[in-house]
A and B are shown apart, each in its own frame.
Chain A
Amino acid sequence: MFDQATWEMIGKGFLDSLYMTLVSSALAYLLGLPLGIILVVSDKDGIKPCAWLNSVLGVIINLLRSVPFLILCITVIPVTRFITGTSLGPTATIVPLVIGAAPFIARMVESSLKEVDKGVIEAAQSMGATPFEIIWKVLLPESRPSLILGAAISVTTILGYSAMTGFVGGGGLGDIAIRYGYYRYQTDIMLVTVALLVIIVQVLQEIGLRLAKLGDKRK
């Protein structure tokens, strides 16, 4: 139905989307995971309460999360240019994606870690575990299934964000859908890209679910 060039473009878009999503997710976790841990640990019922740090972080995260993602993309263009030298293309898109996703991930991690039974934490404390040991040996391993599920949700959300960046020259499948489907009324190309996005989401979600279940010893 399409010529060779179109298929190649769609193929490149597919790979670009995967690249943006996976690299952004990895970087966003690098920021969001420690932030989520700090949120839980510094909470007033946490293992090392620190009220000011908790509220400062909470406010920053809420502020970032309340900026609509498309607006955030435009706002951080100077930062993007500074880091990647351009504001266009898949690599440039990673910057707003990480800034947009890290606070979201911090909250996801926070809610996973808060599921860990308080009694188990107390047991570790009664054995003389330090806060670091509790994070490393109790909080993270005990919440692993929930963290993996959270990661599946986060990665698919980031994929959705990455498609949105097509409007500001982001690249990937979203960019193709907007340029061909929206500006040129080539509905068929748009449908193919949407189908591909749906497939990626399904696959990622399924992998996450299986990994979470496989590693869960509570059943």
Chain B
Amino acid sequence: MGTGTPLIQIRGLSKVFETESGEVNVLEDINLDIMEGEIFGIIGMSGAGKSTLVRCLNFLEKPTEGTVYFDSQDLSALSQKDLYKIRQSMAMIFQQFNLLMQRNVLKNVCFPLEIAGVRKKEAEKRAYELLELVGLADKAKAYPSQLSGGQKQRVAIARALANDPKVILCDEATSALDPATTKGILALLKDINKRLGITIVIITHEMSVVEEICQRVAIIDSRHIAEVGYVQDIFTKPVTEAARRLVFPEGERVDHFTSSRCCRIVFNGSSSFEPVIANMVLEFRQTVNIIFADTRNIDGKAFGQIVIQLPEDRLTGEKMMAYLRSRGLTVEEVKGYV
């Protein structure tokens, strides 16, 4: 959990790309604080500017306006040499893993240590420890082409940890992986955050990733930060249009139901995985219409949400909502979202 001290402060950051067809505004006046020790999500649709934003955090892209403070140091004020140095404490992992294909796993993990000037013996010792940590010690001599996607990302994580970074920036780190592997990688990141206290910034377009490991999230929509807050708050009470679109990715399908009374049930892990809707229907002997459902069973806990259409009878509706609340669920009436 975050300590309340900001590690990364983004101030008035804008980025304009010069292209042949003129200037393109990618980010406009972004302000954001990322606290030490937290797992912070930045979510947005493709093209929203999130990949550019994460590259501005370590100055791989220089902001056109504004700046980034990392550990209270203004990155725009640093010399090129100091910037190289400070990047060693801001590790990054990528969607395509970006391992060196001609080096074995061990040498890949040694790579950032070589850059930091660590002696070979020491570097290899440290690399072995890190491979142990990510569960790939037996693959030290293998080449990346012999590994699966999940294993490659584990190597990339070991590599990211090599120089004891203060933060790990994850750019769509699980987008090329299947759901089961994604879960494994996210669990590893969570574990690293908990055990080593490393701040993690997650860039993604998948709400499920944010739900699973982030404490706070910023929603980025067409160049701006639309909403920032605790994941739970945004998930249960999205305020902006952009947030709603992410929380209900298939919102357009429920269009024609919004005239009647609907309620949204949010499963945030506080209830066990039981057939709660079916039980409710049995209890009240009244049917409900399931309009939207997206739930998962993670470690025996239910996560996700269901939107149901309540019976026209107002009293039964209220009772049903009370029933659901008594099962530890967050329930709210939805009026014409989408």
* A219 and chain B: residue at smallest CB distance: B145
Whether A126 and B84, one on each chain, are in contact in the complex, defined by CB atoms closer than 8 angstroms, is no
Contact with A along B254-270 (1 / 0, CB 8 A): 00000000000000000
Q: Given A141-B103, A218-B145 in contact, is the A127-B98 Cβ separation under 8 Å?
A: no
Q: Given A119-B96, A133-B115 in contact, is the A126-B90 Cβ separation under 8 Å?
A: yes
Q: For chains A and B in complex, what number of residue pairs have CB atoms within 8 angstroms?
A: 75
Whether A120 and B115, one on each chain, are in contact in the complex, defined by CB atoms closer than 8 angstroms, is no
Minimum CB–CB distance from A134 to chain B (whole Å) comes to: 10
Instruction: Say if the beta carbon of B100 comes within 8 Å of chain A.
Output: yes
Q: Given A120-B100, A217-B101, A217-B145 in contact, is the A125-B91 Cβ separation under 8 Å?
A: no
Neighbouring B residues of A120 by C-beta, 8 Å: 98-101
Whether A137 and B114, one on each chain, are in contact in the complex, defined by CB atoms closer than 8 angstroms, is yes
**CB contact list, A131-172 vs B, under 8 A:** 133, 137-138, 141-142, 144-145
Q: Given A119-B96, A218-B102 in contact, is the A127-B115 Cβ separation under 8 Å?
A: yes
**Set B58, B91, B98: member contacting A117, Cβ < 8 A:** B98
Neighbouring B residues of A218 by C-beta, 8 Å: 101-102, 143, 145
Minimum CB–CB distance from B314 to chain A (whole Å) comes to: 57
Q: Given A123-B94, A217-B143 in contact, is the A128-B88 Cβ separation under 8 Å?
A: yes
The distance in angstroms between the C-alpha atoms of A156 and B225, with both chains bound, is 58
Whether A126 and B101, one on each chain, are in contact in the complex, defined by CB atoms closer than 8 angstroms, is no
Instruction: Say if the beta carbon of A188 comes within 8 Å of chain B.
Output: no
Contact with A along B53-94 (1 / 0, CB 8 A): 000001010000000000000000000000111111011101
**CB contact list, B80-129 vs A, under 8 A:** 83-88, 90-92, 94, 96, 98-104, 111-112, 114-116
Q: Given A122-B60, A141-B103, A217-B143 in contact, is the A127-B94 Cβ separation under 8 Å?
A: no
Neighbouring B residues of A217 by C-beta, 8 Å: 101-104, 143-145
Instruction: Say if the beta carbon of A77 comes within 8 Å of chain B.
Output: no
The distance in angstroms between the C-alpha atoms of A119 and B176, with both chains bound, is 14
The distance in angstroms between the C-alpha atoms of A125 and B91, with both chains bound, is 10
The distance in angstroms between the C-alpha atoms of A202 and B163, with both chains bound, is 48
* A143 and chain B: residue at smallest CB distance: B102
Q: Given A127-B112, A128-B115, A129-B84 in contact, is the A142-B100 Cβ separation under 8 Å?
A: yes
Q: What is the total number of residues of chain B having a CB less than 8 Å from a CB of chain A?
A: 30
Name which of A123, A133, A216 has the most chain B CB atoms within 10 A of its CB: A123
* B99 and chain A: residue at smallest CB distance: A120
Minimum CB–CB distance from A138 to chain B (whole Å) comes to: 7
Whether A119 and B101, one on each chain, are in contact in the complex, defined by CB atoms closer than 8 angstroms, is no
Instruction: Say if the beta carbon of A187 comes within 8 Å of chain B.
Output: no
Neighbouring B residues of A126 by C-beta, 8 Å: 58, 60, 87, 90-92, 169
Neighbouring B residues of A130 by C-beta, 8 Å: 84
Minimum CB–CB distance from A106 to chain B (whole Å) comes to: 22
Minimum CB–CB distance from B127 to chain A (whole Å) comes to: 14
Main SS class of interface, A? helix
**CB contact list, B181-232 vs A, under 8 A:** none
Minimum CB–CB distance from B107 to chain A (whole Å) comes to: 10
The distance in angstroms between the C-alpha atoms of A129 and B81, with both chains bound, is 10
The distance in angstroms between the C-alpha atoms of A179 and B100, with both chains bound, is 52
* A142 and chain B: residue at smallest CB distance: B102
Neighbouring B residues of A117 by C-beta, 8 Å: 96, 98, 101
**Set A129, A144, A145, A215: member contacting B115, Cβ < 8 A:** A129
Whether A128 and B84, one on each chain, are in contact in the complex, defined by CB atoms closer than 8 angstroms, is yes
Neighbouring A residues of B112 by C-beta, 8 Å: 127-128
Contact with A along B127-166 (1 / 0, CB 8 A): 0000000000000000111000000000000000001000
The distance in angstroms between the C-alpha atoms of A218 and B144, with both chains bound, is 8
* B85 and chain A: residue at smallest CB distance: A128
Whether B88 and A127, one on each chain, are in contact in the complex, defined by CB atoms closer than 8 angstroms, is yes
Whether A141 and B100, one on each chain, are in contact in the complex, defined by CB atoms closer than 8 angstroms, is yes
Contact with B along A208-219 (1 / 0, CB 8 A): 000000011111
Whether A128 and B98, one on each chain, are in contact in the complex, defined by CB atoms closer than 8 angstroms, is no
Neighbouring B residues of A142 by C-beta, 8 Å: 100-102
Neighbouring A residues of B102 by C-beta, 8 Å: 141-142, 144-145, 215-218
Neighbouring B residues of A125 by C-beta, 8 Å: 60, 87
Whether A127 and B100, one on each chain, are in contact in the complex, defined by CB atoms closer than 8 angstroms, is no
14 A-B residue pairs with Cβ-Cβ distance under 8 Å, sorted by A, are: A117-B96, A119-B98, A122-B60, A122-B94, A124-B115, A127-B91, A128-B88, A128-B112, A133-B115, A137-B111, A141-B103, A142-B101, A217-B144, A218-B102
Q: Using a CB–CB distance below 8 Å, which chain A residues touch chain B?
A: 117, 119-120, 122-130, 133, 137-138, 141-142, 144-145, 215-219
The 8 closest A-B pairs by CB, nearest first: A128-B87, A123-B98, A126-B92, A128-B84, A119-B98, A217-B143, A127-B112, A128-B88
